[in-house]
Structure 1
């Protein structure tokens, strides 16, 4: 694995390699002995993803190069490509990139000689979010085979929905979508069910916020959306006893989910955030090792994990 850009073509072996490494790192600290610089190039707002990468890098001993779009040469017209090449030229060994374009990787990867991690590509994919979701699910159920996962919300504009649908299918889960009219995406070949069907049959309900920043007009007000298409307390009461709630966040309380359910007993929303540190540590370790920037033999081995 030379880069981490998409879950579409990841094998189950590759996915479990990341999850195993993340679980090892959760149980035992590891630091890279060599000096490594990483640049987190976020061209869209981010709290969880950006800070998780920052914490993950600190834990691994990776030095983070500063980038703030509003004070960078992007404001003078510099392209993503030239920004990336600049960081490569001054010594970065890893780039973590979030950008509003769906296909920003196409013109970038062939011309760079360092690993790149996709931290969000427009409406395209969000593969590192997917890995933390998968780790959370596996910690809960110990398997993916035949689990019923319903992804609920603004499917049309969600990079999270795509990455998770691809990977969960590879791992043997049954993936369904539930969406308000206008939020469907016909380019994704997964069955749609209603929110009321979803709450009664799912093992995992993955809620998504409405991506207002990608909409041209507001289609639903908050109250009507929750009542018609969101997870209300009444709907939650009909979920299976073992079913869990996931959400990539940020959460719009009282819109896609009743505010009292965000931290309810079956919610794993903040557990996902915690797992985001370990899965991103794992991805970075794997890539740096592949590129020869990290020699595992010089580091104390992590504890072996058997799922």
Structure 2
């Protein structure tokens, strides 16, 4: 099979011929139709954090058809169109992942390949209203957004919600989920085009965080936020505490802007704010997220499609922040 294998000298992906895996006990073999890329893989390559004596096939998101089952798996799975949950071995505590937790793509080989063998408990039937491109766009970013918004953010109908840095996958999913659940959703972005796209999806309004006084502009629009979903951190995070309503929840799942600085402790304790870290999610949350897509017939925003041989170009586009939605790899 063809796969995009990580070159651990250059930390670029190179297409190579690899042996097609055979499903072990309790596993299924999925012929992948599409995969999608995430900042998770981009950060791993940028920081050169993957070291292995064996070839590494990265990739967390994928969708395809089951072609073979291992011992102990019902043959009725063969031929089913499925998507893959990349959140592996969460553990027994629903609040936090356990010591054996891993994200698909390392150390277990991932989805940047024509085939993947995966335990059957991590495959879910594809909602019928989604095509394979859309299905592969969802897993990692969709799960991250679902947990951040509903579990950590405790979303309620009518809440004022701010999603920062809209344009990336998880932020767009958080926006779509909030709108579907009846919240009043607002966004920030460094791109007017991305703000207008968010408004077309149902956001009430947005502001450009590159403009001076962006936080005051938001306050003038809304008056304050009950839930803030942030994936950037950095120097702008302190302003989020200032525009949060008393008792608000601020949920952080990324660090694209670097370390948080200049927080005012009195703002946090006097407003009784809750600042929650969040990352991925457990099996029950993945199932709930897929069901949410089915109930509301949501469709992911797809930015562009790349062939496997052009996967590095897709990551270059992501690193420049040019994408409007998820980038799909066709296999």
Class of the TM-score when normalised by the shorter of the 2 chains: 0.3 to 0.5
Normalised TM-score (structure 2): 0.43
- Larger RCO, structures 1/2 (Cα 8 Å, 6+ apart): 1
Which structure carries more helix by proportion?
1
Normalised TM-score (structure 1): 0.46
Which structure carries more strand by proportion?
2
